[in-house]
């Protein structure tokens, strides 16, 4: 699937055995280093910043509380982060660099499923645990890999709660347009969503896949408009979501009742970019800054969100919260393992169960967390939780036509 990456990995893996024995010698001043390649520049930099900032924020918080006790000895955590420039091939090379040249101890992940899918091959070949909160595709977790763990819920089920809500709102059995990008994450979303719609007795009147990074949706929107659908379910990346909504408005494309997105809606940037045009859009998130979510380092999720905003000048979303849980996983697992041996730490990660400001973190047998999505809606410029497995807020429904809005 990734011929360039595999060729590189085949050569690099020859040194894997020696590298595994080099961890202790490479460590200085009782520091455990977590390494990551993240999108700091390029097309995905806006989301990549959540991971860079949250990784460092968590490490600083843990170190300020005294670090991590491993087998009777205390270690501080440190972060080695590289910029993959939103290039997946560069990202793979950088993960090889992190374990071979930089000799980091353990790995944190990049953003996006296609990156995590490819980069986790480095983790598996070198037998170095990777905990990542940027990739949700089921493809990452169905290869029999033992060294990759994920804190995002399964992409196949991203629209499950949305479809459940739609049935309760009376859309069951009606016509839906499914529009998805062609990358690994969105392919998983599409596969799972088709099954959920089938189970709900809903007709997929339009089923279109677009090239990831596309900016022009006019052809798809013309088809959606002609099909006179009741709802649009859309999956892709945030910049594409912004373009899709703007073109919906300019072409006056109005599903009868509803449109919802896998990404974008929960973020402050999305709402600021669209202004009033963001209103009524439905989305989803596995995390909201609820004070009921507590952990040993940040107190609770509401306090975490306030502190994060003050430190970085922008609000965290679930990307940042999942990245916090990634770092905390290592802190908990290191203590449980009582060792810095990668295999012992890997086994400890597989067995952790702890409360964080993100969620209760417990990995399934495939290495992925199970976590429901909260359906949210933009109402008057604010994000409002609407539905989990029951209504937790009032949905503004059906969505009014673009030319009928105040």
Tens-place pLDDT, residues 202-237: 999 999 999 999 999 999 999 999 999 999 999 999
Q: Are 316 and 50 in contact (CB under 8 A)?
A: yes
Please report the pLDDT score of residue 172 as a whole number.
Answer: 76
Element of type H or E holding 342: helix 342-351
Closest CA to 349 of 324, 366, 332, 365: 332
Please report the pLDDT score of residue 27 as a whole number.
Answer: 53
Mean pLDDT lowest for which of 7-11, 59-63, 73-77, 250-254? Answer: 7-11
Location of structure tokens 């969100």:
305
Please report the pLDDT score of residue 16 as a whole number.
Answer: 39
Kindly report the average pLDDT of the chain as a whole number. 93
156-285+373-404, what's its fold?
Rossmann fold (3.40.50)
Please report the pLDDT score of residue 5 as a whole number.
Answer: 43
pLDDT greater than 60 at residue 6: no
Closest CA to 119 of 110, 128, 127: 110
Strand, helix or coil at 317? coil
pLDDT greater than 60 at residue 364: yes
Please report the pLDDT score of residue 171 as a whole number.
Answer: 85
Please report the pLDDT score of residue 142 as a whole number.
Answer: 96
How far apart CA 293 and CA 98 sit, in angstroms, is 33
Q: Where in the chain is the domain with CATH 3.40.50.2300?
A: 3-153+289-362, 156-285+373-404
pTM over 0.85: yes
Instruction: Say which CATH superfamily domain 3-153+289-362 falls into.
Output: Response regulator (3.40.50.2300)
Which whole number is the average pLDDT over 45-65? 97
Residue 23 banded pLDDT, cuts 50, 70, 90: very low
Which whole number is the average pLDDT over 55-84? 97
Q: Are 160 and 192 in contact (CB under 8 A)?
A: yes
């Amino acid at each position: 699937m990734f011929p360039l990456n595999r060729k590189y990995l085949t050569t690099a893996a020859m040194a894997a055995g020696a590298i595994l024995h080099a961890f202790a010698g490479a460590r200085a001043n009782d520091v455990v280093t977590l390494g990551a390649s993240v999108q700091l520049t390029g097309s995905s930099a806006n989301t990549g910043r959540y991971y860079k900032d949250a990784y460092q924020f968590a490490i600083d918080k843990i170190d300020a509380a005294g670090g991590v006790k491993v087998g009777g000895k205390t270690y501080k955590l440190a972060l080695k982060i590289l910029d993959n420039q939103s290039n997946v091939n560069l990202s793979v090379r950088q993960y090889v660099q992190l374990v071979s040249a930089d000799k980091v101890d353990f790995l944190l992940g990049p953003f996006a499923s296609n990156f995590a899918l490819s980069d986790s091959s480095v983790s598996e070949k070198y037998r170095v645990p990777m905990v990542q909160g940027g990739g949700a595709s089921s493809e990452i977790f169905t290869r029999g890999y033992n060294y990759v763990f994920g804190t995002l819920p399964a992409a196949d089920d991203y629209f499950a709660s949305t479809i459940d809500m739609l049935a309760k709102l009376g859309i069951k059995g009606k016509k839906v347009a499914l529009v998805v990008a062609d990358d690994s994450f969105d392919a998983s979303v599409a596969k799972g969503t088709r099954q959920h719609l089938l189970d709900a007795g809903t007709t997929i009147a339009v089923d279109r896949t677009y090239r990831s990074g596309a900016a022009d949706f006019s052809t798809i929107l013309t088809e959606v408009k002609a099909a006179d659908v009741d709802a649009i379910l859309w999956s892709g990346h945030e910049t594409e979501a912004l373009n899709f909504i703007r073109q919906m408005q300019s072409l006056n494309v109005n599903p009868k009742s509803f449109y919802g997105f896998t990404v974008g809606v929960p973020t402050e940037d999305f709402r600021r970019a669209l202004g009033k045009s963001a209103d009524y859009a439905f989305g989803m998130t596995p995390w909201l800054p609820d004070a009921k979510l507590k952990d040993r380092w940040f107190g609770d999720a509401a306090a975490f969100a306030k502190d994060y905003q003050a430190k970085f000048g922008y609000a965290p979303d679930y990307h940042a919260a999942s990245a916090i849980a990634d770092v905390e996983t290592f802190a908990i697992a290191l203590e449980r393992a009582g060792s810095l041996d990668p295999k012992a730490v890997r086994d400890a990660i597989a067995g952790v169960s702890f409360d964080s400001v993100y969620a209760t973190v417990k990995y399934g047998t495939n290495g992925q967390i199970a976590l429901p999505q909260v359906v949210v809606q933009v109402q008057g410029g604010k994000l409002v939780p609407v539905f989990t497995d029951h209504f937790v807020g009032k949905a503004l429904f059906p969505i009014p036509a673009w030319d009928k809005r105040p």
